[in-house]
Amino acid sequence: MKQHQFVKTLFVNLILCTSLSVHASTNEGSLRQAAPEVGAQSPVTHIKEVYKTVGASPLKLNVFYTDQAFQKRDNTALVFFHGGGWAYGSPSEFFSTCERYARMGIVTFSAEYRLSNENGTTPHKTISPIESVMDARSAIRWVRGNAARLHVDGNKIVAAGQSAGGHLALCTAMIDDYNEKSDDLATSCRPDAILLFSSCYNAVEGWCDRLLADRRDRIWSISPAHHIKGGLPPMIGFHGTDDEQVPVWTAQFFETDMKKAGNYFELHRFKGRKHYLGEGNPKYSRYYDDEILGVADTFLRKFNHLNSN
């Protein structure tokens, strides 16, 4: 048992959040009101919406918005996918970030998706990263399909994620082989921009292989680094040069190949930082800090997804 626990811990630490960063991210009603920051014009409302039901299990999106934003019809939507190596993690890890951007006029979402974890044991018998990819694509489709009701512009949907969640954000734009049978494929799941924090770009690695189990021969089919093509949405990546879980060179190779294909990809490397770019700062679940989000803000403004102050 001790050896099993050690191996499990080792794998989790290897890919727990797979990410890179560089410098020289059925309505259940209002669940809570987040206390507004100084200068905020209205409080943030947090509700949950079911975007898909698999068997008897509903999958939900946490939605954050202000009354001020809902006075408009053309808001940006920003959809976050948490990290955790496709087997761990929680949507709550992005709640503080969702509240931040909601106060800036964006309608934000933190997605729940299927995890390859069965009562604490990995891999799950029927859930692998493939199912996580399908859920991420369903979530973007649901947001676009409900854009009018959510006061969102269907052409201003941004996907974002940390580590394995970054991989899922990429897959909404790059991996076309996996879609839920219940999805309306006439509704595109391609986001209009992507934010990546310590992201997994190349899924051909040990932990993903383990979670795929008897479907490991499909690992190439869910690896964004192996599906680069022209015409992809603009992206920005943040990666620590000392990332101990996702080597920074995987982000650098991805940047090079994206640019060769004619895509916009902006990579920021942060010297000396590890996988958790905000280590020591729990404000944003250690994913990053305000400095990094400030760079992300500039990117969003550049592509007209965030209003200038």
pLDDT digits (tens, 9 = 90+) for 172-205: 999 999 999 999 999 999 999 999 999 999 999 9
Distance CA(162)–CA(237), nearest Å, equals 10
Structure tokens at 92: 């709550």
Specify whether the CB–CB gap between 156 and 196 falls below 8 A: no
Task: Find all residues with CB under 8 Å of 136, minimum gap 6, and list them.
Answer: 81, 111, 113, 159, 168, 169, 171, 172
Specify whether the CB–CB gap between 202 and 250 falls below 8 A: yes
Task: Find all residues with CB under 8 Å of 237, minimum gap 6, and list them.
Answer: 20, 21, 22, 166, 196, 197, 199, 201, 251, 254, 255, 265, 266, 267, 268
Q: Length of the chain, please? A: 309
CA-only gyration radius of the chain, Å: 18
Tens of pLDDT, residues 151-171:
999 999 999 999 999 999 999
| Residue 196 main-chain phi, psi, to 5 deg | -130, 120
- Per-residue pLDDT, averaged over 241-256, amounts to 98
Distance CA(166)–CA(283), nearest Å, equals 19
Tens of pLDDT, residues 7-33:
344 344 444 434 333 333 333 333 333
Question: pTM of this prediction?
Answer: 0.87
Structure tokens at 141: 């489709």
CATH of domain 19-25+72-302: 3.40.50.1820
Specify whether the CB–CB gap between 197 and 17 falls below 8 A: no
